[in-house]
Amino acid sequence: MDVDTAIRERRTIGVFSGQDVAAELVEELIDAARWAPNHKHTEPWRFHVVSGSAREEMANAILSAGGKFAKDPRGKLLRSPLFIAVTQQAVLDDPVRDQEDYAAVCCAVQNMMLAATARGLATKWSTGALAEHPAAKRWLGIGPDDRIVAYLYLGYPPETMRSLTAERRPAEVVWRS
Ligand SMILES: Cc1cc2nc3c(=O)[nH]c(=O)nc-3n(C[C@H](O)[C@H](O)[C@H](O)COP(=O)(O)O)c2cc1C
């Protein structure tokens, strides 16, 4: 699949068939991620591949920590055969670099989603309360100020969802010459 097609055909899909994703495919997506642009070559991304019973371990760690986000996380973390938590180390003493690094990690996530689309895989990028949860960060082994930029849920789409259409507004563009 060429890149223009992948860009247009990629759709957020939050339900998955039961089919597992081969480790080689996961590695290919992560390899695509690391080619994302990143200022000063900081390569600020980290990838945590969570599958099988590890998904439940993480959900239980969050659940037993309770607190503000004590809603049962299993519905989300177990929705796909695996997910990749893509994280960024915080740069507390340099807010500009921190923002650049965040943007670079977002580019890396998009690379992964496009590479997944080209391989017939479905993805869903998710953030929200689970991405802020201190117990989620602890379980992943990242610092309290580090970011979970994405939970990238990954799997094969159910048969009925192989092609989803989507609409986008025409871009607002200002040309000056
Ligand atoms: C930074 C970011 C965070 C997102 N977080 C969530 C989320 O927490 N829950 C969710 O259902 N979708 C989330 N999404 C997916 C968007 O809702 C989705 O991309 C949007 O609906 C457009 O649909 P499409 O991806 O099929 O084009 C997120 C997307 C991005 C880029």
Which residues are paired to 148 by β-bridges? 87
Q: Per-residue pLDDT averaged across 72-89, rounded?
A: 96
The ligand 1 atom nearest the CA atom of 164: 26
Q: Per-residue pLDDT averaged across 83-101, rounded?
A: 97
The ligand 1 atom nearest the CA atom of 128: 8
Q: What angle do CA 101, 107, 108 make, to 5 degrees?
A: 90
Does residue 67 surpass a pLDDT of 70?
no
Question: Which class for 60: exposed (0-12), middle (13-18), buried (19 or more C-beta within 10 A)?
Answer: middle
The ligand 1 atom nearest the CA atom of 168: 27
- What is the full DSSP assignment across 124-143? EEE-THHHH-HHHHHHHT--
CA–centroid distance, residue 127 to ligand 1 (Å): 8
pLDDT of 107: 98
Question: Which class for 104: exposed (0-12), middle (13-18), buried (19 or more C-beta within 10 A)?
Answer: buried
Does residue 145 surpass a pLDDT of 70?
yes
pLDDT of 125: 98
Which residues are paired to 85 by β-bridges? 48, 151
Does residue 166 surpass a pLDDT of 90?
no
Q: Which residue's entry shows tokens 């802020």?
A: 132
User: What span, in angstroms and rounded, lies between the C-alpha atoms of 106 and 101?
Assistant: 9
Ligand 1 binding residues, C-beta < 6 A = 11-12, 125-128, 166
Residue of 7, 126, 147 best suited for mutating to test ligand 1, as the one with most atoms within 8 Å of CB = 126
Residue of 11, 87, 127, 133 best suited for mutating to test ligand 1, as the one with most atoms within 8 Å of CB = 127
Structural domains of the chain ordered from first start: 3-159 (3.40.109.10)
Does residue 164 surpass a pLDDT of 80?
no
Provide the strand spans (E) within 27-135: 45-51, 82-88, 122-126
